[in-house]
Amino acid sequence: MIPICRPSIGEEELKEIRKVFKSGWLGMGSWVKEFEEEVKKFLGVKNAIAVNTGTSALHLALDSFGIKKGDEIVVPSLTFVASIQAIVACGAVPVFCDVYPNTLNMDIKDMEKKITSRTKAIMPVHYSGLPCKIDKILKIARKKNILVIEDAAHAFGSVYQGKKIGNFGDATCFSFDPIKIITCGEGGMVITANNRVAKIMIKKRILGISNDTWSRYQHKRSWFYDVEMLGFRYHLSNINAAIGLKQLKKFPEFLKRRQEIVKKYDKSLEGIEGLELIEHNYKEVAPFNYIIKVKRNRERLMKFLQGKGITTGIHYIPNHLHPFFKSYRTKLPITERVYQEILTLPLYSEMTNKNVEFVIKTIREFFQV
Distance CA 63, CA 230 (A): 10
Torsion of CA 331, 333, 336, 341, to 10 degrees: 180
Give the type of residue at 54.
Answer: G
Helix (H, G, I), strand (E, B) or coil at 330: coil
Give the type of residue at 61.
Answer: A
Q: Are 188 and 52 in contact (CB under 8 A)?
A: yes
Taking CA atoms, 201 is separated from 54, 71, 195, 333, in Å, by 14, 20, 10, 37
Residue closest to 99 by CA, chosen among 262, 337, 343: 337
Which is the catalytic residue, given 114, 143, 164, 180? Answer: 180
Distance CA 194, CA 186 (A): 25
Q: Are 174 and 153 in contact (CB under 8 A)?
A: yes
256 labelled catalytic = no
Taking CA atoms, 32 is separated from 114, 187, 195, 216, 349, in Å, by 39, 11, 19, 15, 25
Distance CA 45, CA 165 (A): 10
Distance CA 223, CA 152 (A): 37
Q: Which residues are marked as active site? A: 180
